[in-house]
Amino acid sequence: MEGYIFNQYAERQKKPLGEIVPEALAMARNAGFWNIELNTTFFAPETRATTLQGIRSNRLSMPSVYVGGAMHEQSLAAKTIESALQTGAVCAPSGCKAIVNNPDPKPSGAEKSDDELRVQAQMLNRAGRTLSAHGFQLRVHHHTPQLVNNAREWRHILRNTDPEYVTLCMDLDWVHQADLDPLTLLKEGGRRVTEIHVRNSKDKLWLEAVEDGDIDYRAIAKYLREQNNKPLVVVELAYRPNTVITHSLAQDLTSSRIYTERIFGIKA
Residue-by-residue pLDDT tens, the chain, 268 positions? 999 999 999 999 999 999 999 999 999 999 999 999 999 999 999 999 999 999 999 999 999 999 999 999 999 999 999 999 999 999 999 999 999 999 999 988 789 999 999 999 999 999 999 999 999 999 999 999 999 999 999 999 999 999 999 999 999 999 999 999 999 999 999 999 999 999 999 999 999 999 999 999 999 999 999 999 999 999 999 999 999 999 999 999 999 999 999 999 999 9
Total number of domains in the chain: 1
Closest CA to 65 of 99, 104, 25, 93: 99
- DSSP 8-class letter at 40: G
Half-sphere exposure of 173 (CA within 13 A, CB side): 22
Distance CA(36)–CA(25), nearest Å, equals 9
Residue 106 structural domain: 4-264
Q: What is the pLDDT of residue 107?
A: 86
For residue 100, the cross-strand partners are: 66, 139
What is the domain-level CATH number for residue 228? 3.20.20.150
Half-sphere exposure of 15 (CA within 13 A, CB side): 13
CB atoms under 10 Å from CB of 186, counted, come to 22
